[in-house]
Amino acid sequence: MKTPPRLQPLVADGLIDEVVDRLMSGKEADVYVVRCGDELRCAKVYKEAMKRSFKKAVTYTEGRRVRSGRRSRAMDKGSRYGRREQEAVWQNAEVDALYRLAEAGVRVPQPYGVLDGVLLMELITDDDGFEAPRLAEVAMSPEQALEDHALMMEYVVRMLCAGVVHGDLSEFNVLVDPYGPVIIDLPQAVDASANNNARAMLLRDVANMTASYGEFAPELLDTRYGEEIWSLYEDGDLHPDMPLTGEFEDPEEEADVDAVLAEIQAAIDEEEERLERIRDAEETD
């Protein structure tokens, strides 16, 4: 096929020998099958921020650390340099997460690096060498569903022990090859300890996985793995090989609604003050 403009620099530099096919076009990126020497790999071409449709990206980027104070201020201010740096942070977050999760024992595609907004990584295939299907496209026996769900819960635990919550885990972000599930699409991965939305995202990730596998093993639908995992994490008792039960009892004490509302208002006030400082800085420039 004709080489897309965003991939032409990688072809010119010899990192890609041939663009074989377009694998998919999504909200965040276009993905191509490319040939690199004797291997077929994936080339994920990130879309620019203005062209992306990922909702509430700020929710996912909360808590991401930027070492340079100048870069951080530019990103807050929204200057051209800041927007460019924010894009780099967004793209590098996926590479960082892939390396971190692979080291933690989670099955993810092997990354080969990011260049000019293009992530080169391993192509996950089926027995015949074709692109592996997504979980949404796979039917399985109840026994296989229970086995794969247990493995996915193990991956969620290992991710959390590594300080990562996927944040958008669903049947469309899991590939299934001959060895089981492989987790993909991690640019929105969040820092579990620094993002205030981490708990809600983890519960949603687990609920999505349970619903998908529960289609074939309905007994999974009555489990509460998400709450169990997060409770163990909060108590400091979670470790990578933690045996899970899928059971959880809600605490008996009532929620302190006034305290929650006070925290929300404090966060709103803090954000207004931050925006005011940015406006003042812009007027000074």
Going by the DSSP 8-state scheme, the letter that residue 62 receives in this structure is: T
Going by the DSSP 8-state scheme, the letter that residue 48 receives in this structure is: P
Q: Cα(216)–Cα(282) distance, rounded to whole angstroms?
A: 56
Which are the catalytic amino acids? 168, 185
CB-count exposure of residue 121 (10 Å: 0-12, 13-18, 19+): buried
Q: Cα(225)–Cα(62) distance, rounded to whole angstroms?
A: 25
Instruction: Tokens for 199, please give them.
Output: 């708990």
The three-class DSSP label of residue 181 is strand
Instruction: Tokens for 234, please give them.
Output: 């909060």
Q: Cα(106)–Cα(90) distance, rounded to whole angstroms?
A: 21
> Which helix (H) or strand (E) segment is 175 a member of?
strand 174-177
Q: Which of 86, 69, 46, 57 is nearest to 195 (CA)?
A: 57
